[in-house]
Amino acid sequence: MTRPLQLPVGLPVVLDSAVQRFAADTVLLGGDPRRLLRLRPSRGLDLNPSASPAELPARRLVRTLVDGGVAHPRPHPEPVQDLTVIIPVRDRTHELERCLASLGGDVPVVVVDDGSCDPAAVLAVCARHGAAVVAEGENRGPAAARNAGLAASSSGLVAFLDSDCVVTAGWLEGLVGHFRDPAVAAVAPRVRAAQGTTLLERYARARGPLDLGPREARVRPGGRVPYVPTAALVVRRAALDQVRCAGQPFDASLRYGEDVDLVWRLHDAGWSVRYDPRTVVEHSEPGRWLSWWVRKHRYGTSAAPLSVRHPDRLAPMVLASWPTAALALLVAGRPLAAGALCAVPAVRLHRRLRRAGLPARASAAVSVQTSTRNVVRTAAGVGGGGAVTTLPVLCLALAVRRTRPAAALLLIAPPLVEALARRPRIDPVTWTVLRVLDDLAYATGVWRGCWTGRTTSPLRPRRARPESS
C-alpha cells in the first residue's frame, strides 16, 4: 500500500512515555528502535491534532514520529460501524457462552465451528445469543476457521476474537478510531489472563503469553512489540485482501503462529499495525499444570515454520558487537576491561549529544545510561529468552569456578529483574522456578519444531547494532 505522507488532521497524538526531551523540545531521544532526533527550531514539536491546511507539513513530521515509535496516536472512542466479530471455536461451549454474553449482541457475530465433537451444543449457545454459525466438517485449525468466517462476512472491518476471551463494554469503540488513519491495517488491545487465586492463575496474570504489556506501540518485527495475537484483533478487510497467502488471508498450513505470520505480512506490505493497551480483553489460560506446559510447548513449535517464511525474524536473541564483547569480559571475570570497552561508545554518544545542543551533564548521563542498558539487555537475552540457545553454554560455565558466578547471575537475574518490574503476587524463588519452567516448555517446543522442520534458524542469534546509539 502507499503510505500517506501525513497523519490525518484531528487525530490526537502523544509522545512515547520513554522519550527524553532536550533543548526546548528540539532534541528527542527515544523511539523504537531508539534514536536521536534533531528538529529544526523553527518547526519545534507540535502534536496539535487540529492543524489547518497550512500546517500540514507539521503533520508530516508527526507521521515520521509515529512511524518511528517516538509518538503514538490516541484516537477518541468512535461509534462502531460496518464491523463483524469472528470467533473460531472447537467445543469449549462454556467459554463461548461467556464470550458471546460479554459482546452483548451489539454487533454482528459469526461463530465458526471448527469440527466440534458436539456441534449441537455450539449451535445452541449461538442461538441463545443471536450469533450466526459457519459449521466446518472437520477440524482444520484456527487459521482455516478465520478464513471461513471472513468468507461468510462482508464488512469493511473484522474483529477476530477467541472463544475464551471476555470483553468489556466499549472495547471496540476504543479501537476503531485508529482506522481514521488510512495506513492502519490492524489494531490490538491488551490481552491479559483473567484474575485468579491459584499459583498458576497468579503467574498467568503477571506473565501471560499473550500479554504484551502496558505501553502502546507500533507493531513491527524486531521491535518492542514484534507481533500481536489474533486472540483479540480488529483488522481492515482491504488490508487482508492485499496480503493473501495461497488465496486466503491466513496461512491455513500453520496450526500455531498464524497470527504472527499475518501481522508480519501486513508490515511487509507497508501497512501499520497498532497495539493499544488502553483497551483490555481478558483471556483464560489453562488451569492445570500439564495443560499449561503443553500450550507453551506448542507455541514454541511455531518458531521453525515461521522462520522459513520470515528468515532472521525468529532469532532467540539479538547480539550487538560491543555489548556482547563487554558481557563476555564480565563473564570471564574482567570487569575493568569490560568497563573500558563500554566507555568507547559512551564517549561517542556523549559527543553527538553535545553537538546536538545538550548540556554536558545531561549528555553524560544519557550516554552512560544507554551503554549500560545495551549491556543489560544483552545479558537479559543471553540468560532469559535466549536460553533456548545459550542454556548448554551456561551450564558448562557453571562447571568452571571462574565463570560460575557470572553464569549463575545470567540464569537467575532476568527472572528476578522481571519480578521487580511486574510485581507478581508470588515470592521471588517460586517466580524464578516458574520462569525457568516456562522458558523450558517453550524451548522444547522450539527444539522439536527445528527437528521436524530440519532447520536451525530459530536457534541462531541475530547480529545488530546497539540502540542509539
Q: Are 135 and 111 in contact (CB under 8 A)?
A: no
Grid cell in block for residue 152: 461468510
pLDDT of residue 421: 84
How crowded is residue 366: how many other Cβ atoms within 10 Å of its Cβ? Answer: 19
What SS3 state is found at 217? Answer: strand
pLDDT of residue 54: 47
Distance from C-alpha of 375 to C-alpha of 365, rounded to nearest angstrom? 16
pLDDT of residue 41: 67
Grid cell in block for residue 116: 466440534
Distance from C-alpha of 310 to C-alpha of 457, rounded to nearest angstrom? 10
Q: Are 280 and 424 in contact (CB under 8 A)?
A: no
pLDDT of residue 246: 81
Q: Which of 202, 256, 142, 122 is nearest to 430 (CA)?
A: 202
**Contacts (Cβ under 8 Å, ≥6 apart) of 160:** 85, 86, 87, 146, 230, 231, 232, 233, 234, 235
Q: Which of 143, 122, 20 is nearest to 70 (CA)?
A: 20
Q: How large is the C-alpha radius of gyration of the chain?
A: 24
pLDDT of residue 434: 92
Per-residue tens of pLDDT for the chain, all 469 residues:
667 767 887 888 899 999 988 877 788 889 998 888 888 765 556 666 555 444 556 677 888 889 999 999 999 999 999 999 999 999 999 999 999 999 998 899 999 999 999 999 999 999 999 999 999 989 999 999 999 999 999 999 999 999 999 999 999 999 999 999 999 999 999 999 998 899 999 999 999 999 999 999 999 998 999 999 999 999 999 999 999 988 899 999 999 999 999 999 999 999 999 999 999 999 999 989 999 999 999 999 999 999 999 988 888 877 888 888 988 888 777 889 988 999 998 999 889 888 887 888 888 998 999 888 888 888 777 776 666 777 777 778 888 888 888 788 878 888 888 888 888 889 999 998 998 889 888 889 999 999 999 999 888 887 776 665 5
Grid cell in block for residue 129: 445469543
Q: Which of 94, 67, 104, 89 is nearest to 161 (CA)?
A: 89
**Contacts (Cβ under 8 Å, ≥6 apart) of 381:** 316, 317, 318, 319
Distance from C-alpha of 143 to C-alpha of 448, rounded to nearest angstrom? 21
How crowded is residue 273: how many other Cβ atoms within 10 Å of its Cβ? Answer: 25
Grid cell in block for residue 221: 518485527
Domains, the chain, in order of start with CATH, read 13-73 (no CATH), 83-285 (3.90.550.10), 318-464 (no CATH)
Grid cell in block for residue 99: 464470550
pTM metric for this prediction: 0.91
Grid cell in block for residue 393: 553454554
Q: Which of 311, 304, 320 is nearest to 388 (CA)?
A: 304
What SS3 state is found at 424? Answer: coil
